[in-house]
A and B are shown apart, each in its own frame.
Chain A
């Protein structure tokens, strides 16, 4: 039954990894601006389209 020690250690280790990830992301300022990235994410498509258009013209 001492497998429980292993399981506990593993689960706590996983939890701590996520916890460190959280602290790290806060420290990096990832939660400082929660709005702009949501808009920026949607721009990518348009940029690609634009690039294609401009390359077409050049060709």
Chain B
């Protein structure tokens, strides 16, 4: 039997019954999308890219909150009488077919006027006629074709921040001025003594002065501010010598032009600022589809269904939920607040909170916590605490999140700049003193020349280009860093802390092992048939491990909530579930997840569900062990302690039963001992620890979906590479140090000209760009060769 692949999504079709226009489909959802597209002449969708695979999901009732005008208005970008504009985030956007179909939405729904995709951001901006259609209909259309938008509480609160484009403007101004000044100073370079050029020299010089004004006053402004702040806090950062250099260059050049003494250094001045800004610009690598600042708000829904006292359903904004309200949570919906389960079967998936993907079963009367996702059917709950006071969300009231932590971190460049500045100032004064006695007329000239030539352009460029380039290389390897400073911080790390569930263990995989008396083939068959009927997540997982099912009719079947299943198949009585249910009187071992089995009243054994640890966990720990102090912080019980002790190096500290706040406090304690801590976690419960640590890395199975606030987001498939990233960060520091040596050599050459009083504008104009370019070329080549070693 050959496999058939779905024409729409490319998955293997289980049966071949779903056919439309001679194409096979894996499910009716895919078929519907295909039919919708073919009716509207949009089948070209399939020609553009192989398997765009946007699979529509069940969304019944999910967007009812978009009927509430108050909520809709908060989401809109623009609202006029008949026209509304909305920007939606669609995580599924990933290929050219996606862009094409989303920008042809008006063919599917006439009241959509235009739609425009921003691919790097994965957003779509839709303009529609609000008199004829509504936001809800637009969202439902998107969901129907498999592009479900992701609307979260974050969209509700945060008004769109205006994009800061200052750096681009500054760069533009500097580049513009630099180019023009270069042209205007050409006659000076060649010292043409033609009559007419000499006659017009002042015109050229005044024009250069005019062009350099916006550069000094606008483009270089950030350097004065930073230098002033540095001096104020008694700290000589790299911007101090830069600001000094720029000011001296400008003042001396103006003096030369005004008193007609020479041509000034306007070309060097504008070039310097231009190169510095390029470095700054290059360092800013942003991943527009990722956010490093998320909190629970980007995960929580905007509204939930509340039951009124007359048992009517109404959409309520999350912040309006009060203690005592009754809420209705549908399949796949998120529980927004702590509460008590009133009615319905609850299988709650807390994987976003803890990283544990096994659903927890709750029965009515049980307490349920915010952050879980209901997996099966509808439940009703009573609210115990409002959103901001729930167990999980309380974490965000911690100081780590509320205080703007002033960065105490000193970059390598800052460290060297102190010595450098003092060194330059000393040389300038000493040479000035020397010339004062030797040839007093040249004193001021030499003093300024030293300050000009020693302006640490190349030094200031070394770190941005090294780190910026590595940032890009790592981004390609699915390690996304928030900014360049993270790499430098990584190099200083001496303690690495791992979360257990979801970080060391793979979220999606579980090992199922049978322990006890061996079941014969008939007993297995009975078990299979019973498990097949059950909707319990554990049963579903167990069922998936069986193959070759022989169907047997079930005589009687009863599911006891929170306990297990009682069934009779062909006269064989079978009981599955908790130990106390299966084998009366015995208490289950609370540390393990298992399904116990008894047949005809006789206890047989149990199926144990174990987390599978990520492959290479052991190798990774062994590689890190000699260099770093390793800790495993787990919110779970100690069930896996002995296993981990066997697997991991002896020195590794293992801590269990850690609440989110405990993790945060633990890291704080280590930091107070002078440790530099890197935390690797995944769930919302690690959010505090990630924020507190020096470098917080969020491990994510799907980077588009969610990750808590952090310094870096790492794709889970790259888990084994962590050791190599740490080595790489150390190498990057080495590269920066070599670049410093290189740029200092240029400075020495320049200083020779300056001290001896022969610094001509043309020499400065050659030396400065040359040193900058050398640094850029050197760092790019070296970092690329380092980057090649990462897989």
Contact = CB atoms under 8 A, between A and B. Distances in A.
Interface of A: 1, 4-5, 8, 12, 15, 19, 22-23, 26-27, 29, 31-36, 39-40, 42-43, 46-47, 49-50, 53-54
Contacts of A35: 119-120
28 contacts: A4-B196, A4-B200, A5-B203, A8-B203, A12-B207, A15-B176, A22-B172, A23-B169, A26-B165, A27-B165, A32-B118, A32-B163, A33-B119, A33-B120, A34-B120, A35-B119, A36-B99, A36-B117, A36-B120, A39-B99, A39-B119, A40-B99, A40-B103, A43-B100, A43-B103, A46-B47, A50-B41, A53-B41
Contacts of A26: 165, 168-169, 172
Given A1-B199, A35-B120, A39-B96, A23 B41 contact: no
Contacts of A40: 99, 103, 117
Interface string B112-134: 00001111110000000000000
Contacts of B200: 1, 4
Contacts of B176: 15, 19, 22
B213 interface: no
Interface in B235-285: none
Contacts of A15: 176, 179-180
B106 to A, nearest CB: 12
B20 interface: no
Given A43-B99, A46-B47, 13 more contacts: A1-B199, A5-B203, A15-B179, A23-B169, A26-B165, A26-B168, A27-B165, A36-B99, A39-B96, A39-B99, A40-B117, A43-B103, A53-B41
Interface size class of B (residues with CB under 8 A): 20 to 34
User: Which applies to chain A's interface (DSSP): helix, strand, loop or mixed?
Assistant: helix
A23 B214 CA distance: 14
B44 interface: yes
B679 to A, nearest CB: 33
Given A8-B207, A19-B176, A29 B168 contact: no
Contacts of A27: 165
A29 B116 CA distance: 14
A50 B99 contact: no
Nearest to B177: A19
Interface in B125-183: 163, 165, 168-169, 172, 176, 179-180
Nearest to B200: A4
Interface in B43-69: 44, 47-48
Contacts of B48: 46
B274 to A, nearest CB: 14
Contacts of B179: 15
The 7 A-B pairs of least Cβ separation, nearest first, read: A36-B119, A33-B118, A19-B176, A54-B41, A35-B119, A39-B96, A1-B196
Nearest to B168: A26
Nearest to B103: A40
A19 B172 contact: yes
Contacts of B163: 29, 32
A31 B48 CA distance: 25
Interface in B9-44: 41-42, 44
A50 B44 contact: yes
A33 B169 contact: no
A1 B104 CA distance: 61
Contacts of B104: 47
A40 B117 CA distance: 9
B196 A31 contact: no
A15 B172 CA distance: 12
A44 to B, nearest CB: 11
B685 to A, nearest CB: 35
A30 B299 CA distance: 31
Contacts of A39: 96, 99, 119
B616 to A, nearest CB: 34
A15 B169 CA distance: 16
B392 to A, nearest CB: 35
Nearest to A22: B172
Contacts of B118: 32-33, 36
A53 B42 CA distance: 11
Nearest to B204: A8
B199 A23 contact: no
Contacts of A34: 120
Nearest to A51: B41
B439 to A, nearest CB: 38
A49 B767 CA distance: 57
Contacts of B172: 19, 22-23, 26
Contacts of B116: 36
Contacts of A54: 41
A35 B99 CA distance: 11
B121 A33 contact: yes
Contacts of A23: 169, 172
Contacts of A32: 118, 163
Nearest to B176: A19
Contacts of B42: 50
A46 B117 CA distance: 18
B259 to A, nearest CB: 23
Contacts of A46: 44, 47-48, 100
A19 B42 CA distance: 42
Contacts of B47: 46
